[in-house]
Amino acid sequence: MAQIAYVNGAYVRHCDAAVHIEDRGYQFADGIYEACIMIDGRCWDIDGHLERMKRSLDALEIDMPMGRRALMIAMGELVRRNRLRDAFVYLQVTRGVAPRNHPFPKPWTPPALVMTARRFNLDQSDAQAARGVSVISHPDIRWGRVDIKSVGLLPNVLAKEAAVKEGAYEAWLVRDDKVTEGSSTNAWIVDDQGVLITHPKSHEILGGITRETALVCAQELQIKVHERAFALEEAKNATEAFITSATSFVMPVTKIDTTVLGNGKPGPVALRLREAYKAKAREIAGA
Ligand code: PDD
């Protein structure tokens, strides 16, 4: 069966799906994206993802391409047409197509919406969590508004590639000796009192939707959280570490650069939080 993509109102064969060469996303990275997971046909953390999508679009003065309800129907339809139950769904909105020129196009052009869906393997993710993953540190050279989920991801791409070259799962980005976040995940550590530490929401990190739900779970589990920046050295001396994202959920980190954390196995706090996150995400999943 051919894979199906959504391009500006049409469901097309993935191999035929295309955007215009003067799409401003292509020429200027003038657009935003969202990435979310559907399990059993229901989207985890959908409210958070759609609210952040709106915030990112508002920050760039791009209109929401369609209403929230219509968008959810289109996402569901895309997943259905691809005959998926568990899926990674990618949404991208750009300022649309116009002759190349830096200012916003005048007259106004409609935003362009593209969506793709592919299979997500929950068992594989759980198996990886049971083993834990390693991360490397990498300089954070990104711009000053990384809270906007912009498609301009070159520093993230370079950091992730550096991680892959080292056989690591993720790169933790370091600015002024502080870990901001991962190249596509939020970064957390656990201190010797069992307190969770993660960078506060600001223009310096992407406010993860998984991070938000994990914070709720931590509160329900009566685990203390300090939202503050932490140094790379502090992370290497931490009891545990983990990352969060829509595709990783809560993923235990067992090694940072050459430093093995604890006994080199996923920590109990991270594993507990992962189970709590999965249960909560399932409970609040949208149609
Ligand atoms: N990445 N920080 C960055 C830089 C990210 O790109 C992401 C998400 C996160 C976690 O956000 P969330 O919990 O909402 O997924 C943090 C997605 C998964 C991606 O780029 O594919």
Give per-residue pLDDT as tens, 238-268. Answer: 999 999 999 999 999 999 999 999 999 999 9
Cα–ligand 1 centroid distance for 107 (angstroms): 33
User: 215 in ligand 1 pocket by Cβ < 6 Å?
Assistant: no
Phi, psi of 188 (to 5 degrees): -135, 150
Output the six-digit token pair for 254.
């067992």
Alpha carbon nearest to ligand 1 atom 20, residue: 184
Cα–ligand 1 centroid distance for 99 (angstroms): 31
Cα–ligand 1 centroid distance for 225 (angstroms): 20
Residue 55, pLDDT score: 98
Cα–ligand 1 centroid distance for 212 (angstroms): 12
Question: Residue 286 — pLDDT band, cuts 50, 70, 90?
Answer: confident
Whole-angstrom CA distances from 3 to 9, 16, 80, 177, 196 are 16, 10, 11, 44, 41
Mean pLDDT of 119-143: 98
Return the best residue to mutate from 206, 244, 273 for the ligand 1 pocket (most ligand atoms within 8 A of CB).
206
Atom of ligand 1 nearest to the CA of 212: 13
String of DSSP letters for the chain: ---EEEETTEEEEGGG----TTBHHHHH--EEEEEEEEETTEETTHHHHHHHHHHHHHHHT---SS-HHHHHHHHHHHHHHTT-SSEEEEEEEE--B-SS-SSPPSS--PPEEEEEEEE--HHHHHHHHHH-EEEEEEE----S-TTS-BS--HHHHHHHHHHHHTT-SEEEEEETTEEEEESSSEEEEE-TTS-EEEPPSSTTS---HHHHHHHHHHHHTT--EEE--EEHHHHHT-SEEEEEETTTEEEEEEEETTEEPTTSS--HHHHHHHHHHHHHHHHH-B-
Q: What stretch(es) of the chain map to CATH 3.30.470.10?
A: 4-119
Question: Residue 39 — pLDDT band, cuts 50, 70, 90?
Answer: very high
Mean pLDDT of 143-162: 98
Cα–ligand 1 centroid distance for 106 (angstroms): 32
Q: What stretch(es) of the chain map to CATH 3.20.10.10?
A: 126-285
Mean pLDDT of 49-78: 97
Alpha carbon nearest to ligand 1 atom 5, residue: 184
User: 185 in ligand 1 pocket by Cβ < 6 Å?
Assistant: yes
Question: Residue 134 — pLDDT band, cuts 50, 70, 90?
Answer: very high
Question: Rounded to two decimals, what is the model's pTM?
Answer: 0.97
User: 209 in ligand 1 pocket by Cβ < 6 Å?
Assistant: yes
CA distance 247 to 244: 8
Share of the chain above pLDDT 70, in %: 99
Mean pLDDT of 218-225: 98
Q: Which of 143, 211, 212 is nearest to 175 (CA)?
A: 143
Cα–ligand 1 centroid distance for 92 (angstroms): 14
Q: Which of 245, 1, 282, 22 is nearest to 117 (CA)?
A: 1
Token look-up 């050279």 returns 141
Cis amide leading into 107 (omega within 30)? yes
Mean pLDDT of 121-131: 97
Residue 1, pLDDT score: 64
User: 94 in ligand 1 pocket by Cβ < 6 Å?
Assistant: no
What's the CATH number for 4-119? 3.30.470.10
User: 210 in ligand 1 pocket by Cβ < 6 Å?
Assistant: yes
Residue 80, pLDDT score: 96
Q: Which of 203, 184, 199 is nearest to 90 (CA)?
A: 184
User: 204 in ligand 1 pocket by Cβ < 6 Å?
Assistant: no
Across the chain, what does the average pLDDT equal? 97
CB 117 within 8 A of CB 176: no
Atom of ligand 1 nearest to the CA of 186: 16
What topology does CATH give the domain 126-285? D-amino Acid Aminotransferase; Chain A, domain 2 (3.20.10)
pLDDT tens digits, one per residue of 261-279: 999 999 999 999 999 999 9
Active site residue 280: no
Catalytic position from the list 149, 160, 255, 278: 149
Question: Residue 81 — pLDDT band, cuts 50, 70, 90?
Answer: very high
